[in-house]
Amino acid sequence: KISREFIDGLPKSELHVHLEGTLEPELKLKLAQKNNINIGQETIEDVEATYHYDDLASFLAVYYPGMDVLQTTDDFYELAMSYLNKAKSQGVRHVEMFFDPQAHVVRGVPLNCVMEGFYQACVDARAMNIDAHLIMCFLRDMSARSAIDLLNAAKPYRSKILGIGLDSDEHHNPPLKFMLPFSMAVEQGYHITMHADVDQVDSIDHIKQALEIINVERLDHGTNIVEDKDMVDWVNHLHLGLTSCPLSNKLITDNDLKGDEILDLLDEGVKISINSDDPAYFGGYIADNYEALVKEYKVTPEQVVQLAKNSFETAWLSEKQKEMYL
Q: What is the widest separation between alpha-carbon atoms in the chain?
A: 54
DSSP secondary structure string for all residues of 215-264 = --SEEEE-GGGGG-HHHHHHHHHTT-EEEE-HHHHHHHTTS---HHHHHH
277 labeled binding residue: yes
Question: CB-wise, 244 or 311, nearer to ligand ADE?
Answer: 244
Q: Which residues of 172-210 are buried (b: 16+ CB within 10 A; e: fewer)?
A: ebbbebbeebbebbbeeebbbbbbbbbbbeebeebbbbb
Which residues share a beta bridge with 136?
A: 99, 164
Rounded least distance, CB 252 to ligand ADE, Å: 7
Site for ligand ADE in 54-83 (CB under 6 A): 56
Q: Between residue 163 and residue 182, which ones bind ligand ADE under the rule CB under 6 A? A: 167-168
Query: What residues between 19 and 38 interact with ligand ADE by CB under 6 A?
Result: 21
197 is an interface residue for ligand ADE by CB under 6 A:
yes
Tell which residue, 120, 114, 96, has the closest CA to residue 153.
114
226 within 8 A of 261, measured Cβ to Cβ: yes
Q: One symbol per residue from 287 to 316: x for binding ligand ADE (CB under 6 A), - otherwise; what is it? A: ------------------------------
18 is in an annotated binding site: yes
Name the residue among 119, 111, 116, 100 with its Cα closest to residue 152: 111
Residues that bind Zn ion (CB under 5 A): 277
**Per-residue contact track with ligand ADE, 210 to 249, x per CB under 6 A?**
--------------------------------------x-
- Any known ligand binding at 260? no
Q: What's the min distance (Å) between Cβ of 246 and ligand ADE?
A: 12
Question: Do 109 and 37 contact (CB within 8 A), yes or no?
Answer: no
DSSP element (H, E) containing 12:
strand 12-18
By CB under 6 A, tell whether 16 contacts ligand ADE.
no
131 is an interface residue for ligand ADE by CB under 6 A: no
Q: Binding site: residue ranges?
A: 16, 18, 195, 277-278
Q: Which residues bind ligand ADE (CB under 6 A)?
A: 18, 21, 56, 167-168, 195, 197, 248, 277-278
Q: Binding site for Zn(2+): residue ranges?
A: 16, 18, 195, 277
